[in-house]
Amino acid sequence: MSQQVSETHRHYIAGGFDDGDGDETFDSRNPATGESIATFRRGTESDIDRAVAAAEDSFEEWRALSHIQRAEYLWDIYHELRERTDELAEAVTKECGKEISEGRADVIEAYHMVEWAAGDARHPKGDVVPSEIPAKDAYMRRKPRGVVGCISPWNFPVAIPFWHMAVALVEGNTVVWKPAEQTPMCGQIIAEMFEDAGIPEGVFNMVQGFGDAGARIVDHEDVNGVLFTGSAEVGHEVAEKVAQQPGKLAACEMGGKNGIVVTEEADLDVAVHSAVMSSFKTTGQRCVSSERLIVHEDVYDEFKERYVEIAKEVSVGDPLDEGTFMGPAIEPEHVEKIQKYNDLAREEATEVLVDRTELDDSEIPDGHEDGNWVGPFVYEIEYDDEGEQRSIREEVFGPHVALMKYSGDIERAVDIHNDTPYGLAGAVISENYRQINYYRDHAEVGLAYGNLPCIGAEVQLPFGGVKKSGNGYPSAREVIEAVTERTAWTLNNSKDIEMAQGLSADI
């Protein structure tokens, strides 16, 4: 199905906007209205091949620049992101349905990442390492990997691409980026920024498209590293495929079934506030959103009453309206998935406490009848450690929350908290430092919070998970490990050859 495509909604390959080789197009849709926002070219495998070839061709010249010279381009992008924040935030909100202050935060997080990466260009690189031999100088030096493929999700359509690309570019790699198919307009605007910054031809390439284009990036023999953030299902496939290609590296970050522990010594204002933010912001569609609240029996009833009252009233509506707390789900298929999990939870729950699966007509703003609406769903469940309750172990990626009562000590709470295959984020709410420290040291997560929501990470901290949530850190400062190869460089300053470990140098 081919349509008339606007001149601007194309790929960006080898230094210019590009029509692509295929004639298929796709639409970006506003999840709050169901309306089409714009039409885009759908990238093919051969578009990816051309993008990779352009990235490969430009690599030697790009790596020959200094870190500081490469960072100059990123500073231009930083200024563009700041100047175009409102425009980009509106695009985020229109394409992914996040309420507008979240759209803005997405752009702010992106320029924080660019600021970090460009600033880091002036920091020391590598290490000077001692040697056993006085005349030997030893170093750990970093080299760019080459062409890095970036596959980013729709829920942070500006911040996460920059998590992937900012450090990769400053370190001397060239990139081929596939934005999520749900958020191509954000991809378009970011490509315009690279164009305006005058990034050298081929250093940055962007191909709009679906899973087939992403799979080509992963399989391509000239792509030396893959940064993936998205679902566990796709992430594990990416990791497996890359594991079969020696020399290539994948860093993936995938999903969570994040828990918050509220102990008997919690400040309940902090507990309720943190839980509401963690479970309902972005309609629960963050990898760090919390779908499990593990609450001590002594404070359970009060916590439940207060949390449930807010869950019943929290506003779901037009995300462009500053007063809205949560917007729609991303796609009709995603609403169906959330509904299915709500059905499953109805079977596993002891009681359903809030059921706004179907919103009341009066809650849906005029002109938004075709949006992908779904409200909070909260249920009480008696935790059982047999591992059979799927609703408390599988990620829903929606405003679907299990309330679980525990008795006993923090050790028991953390056991329940850790009983999921995932390990991305979590929080403990307590005024007792021993409980807090126990949680910090034993929670099986990459991002652990005390007396805070488990959303809202900052880019200067590592962002990644353990267990099924990740096999690397395709984000923030940790990207440096994924996009560089390490060389152990050792230099002899003497005419004699002297060996370490007492190894004889006699011939």
Among the residue ranges 47-55, 200-208, 282-290, 360-368, the one whose residues contact ligand UN1 (CB under 6 A) = 282-290
In the list 219, 456, 462, 481, the residue contacting ligand UN1 (rule: CB under 6 A) is 456
For the bound state, the minimum distance from the C-beta of residue 39 to ligand UN1, rounded and expressed in Å, comes to: 27
Active-site residue flag, 253: yes
Closest CB to ligand UN1 among 159 and 364?
159
The tokens for 421 are: 């295959």
Closest CB to ligand UN1 among 260 and 364?
260
Residue 500: count of CB within 10 angstroms of its CB: 11
Among the residue ranges 286-294, 311-319, 476-484, 497-505, the one whose residues contact ligand UN1 (CB under 6 A) = 286-294
| 306: DSSP letter | H
Tokens 């829903």 appear where? 396
> Is 457 near ligand UN1 (CB under 6 A)?
yes
Amino acid at 473: Y
Q: Which residues pair with 488 in a beta bridge?
A: 140
For the bound state, the minimum distance from the C-beta of residue 92 to ligand UN1, rounded and expressed in Å, comes to: 13
Closest CB to ligand UN1 among 56 and 395?
395
H helix or E strand, kind and range, residue 340: helix 332-348
What is the Cα–Cα distance from 244 to 241, expressed in whole angstroms?
Answer: 5
Helix (H, G, I), strand (E, B) or coil at 305: helix
Closest CB to ligand UN1 among 48 and 428?
428
Asked if residues 263 and 279 have their Cβ atoms less than 8 Å apart, the reply is: no
| 126: DSSP letter | S
Pairing of strands 174-178, 249-254: unpaired
Active-site residue flag, 132: no
For the bound state, the minimum distance from the C-beta of residue 304 to ligand UN1, rounded and expressed in Å, comes to: 25
Among the residue ranges 261-269, 383-391, 407-415, 449-457, the one whose residues contact ligand UN1 (CB under 6 A) = 449-457
Closest CB to ligand UN1 among 461 and 500?
461
The 10 Å CB-count burial string (b at 16+, else e) for 419-444 is bbebbbbbbbbbeeeebbebbeeebb
Name the residue with the smallest CB distance to ligand UN1.
Answer: 457
For the bound state, the minimum distance from the C-beta of residue 82 to ligand UN1, rounded and expressed in Å, comes to: 18
> Is 287 near ligand UN1 (CB under 6 A)?
yes
For the bound state, the minimum distance from the C-beta of residue 135 to ligand UN1, rounded and expressed in Å, comes to: 48
In the list 48, 404, 448, 455, the residue contacting ligand UN1 (rule: CB under 6 A) is 455
Out of 96, 150, 252, 287, pick the active-site residue.
Answer: 287
The tokens for 311 are: 């869950």
Residue ranges in 51-110 that form contacts with ligand UN1 under rule CB under 6 A:
109
Q: Which residues pair with 489 in a beta bridge?
A: 139
For the bound state, the minimum distance from the C-beta of residue 455 to ligand UN1, rounded and expressed in Å, comes to: 4
Q: Which residues pair with 352 in a beta bridge?
A: 379
Helices (H), 426-489: 433-442, 479-483
Quote the crossing angle between the two packed helices 67-83 and 100-120, to the nearest 10°: 160
Asked if residues 64 and 184 have their Cβ atoms less than 8 Å apart, the reply is: no
> Is 286 near ligand UN1 (CB under 6 A)?
yes
Q: Which residues pair with 379 in a beta bridge?
A: 352, 402
What is the Cα–Cα distance from 232 to 240, expressed in whole angstroms?
Answer: 12
Among the residue ranges 191-199, 284-292, 321-329, 400-408, the one whose residues contact ligand UN1 (CB under 6 A) = 284-292
- The site that binds ligand UN1 (CB under 6 A) totals a number of residues, namely 9
Residue ranges in 102-161 that form contacts with ligand UN1 under rule CB under 6 A:
109, 155-156
Out of 115, 253, 264, 395, pick the active-site residue.
Answer: 253
Work out whether the CA dihedral 97, 102, 107, 112 comes out positive or negative.
negative
Helix (H, G, I), strand (E, B) or coil at 27: strand
> Is 288 near ligand UN1 (CB under 6 A)?
yes
Active-site residue list: 253, 287
Residues near ligand UN1 (CB under 6 A): 109, 155-156, 286-288, 455-457
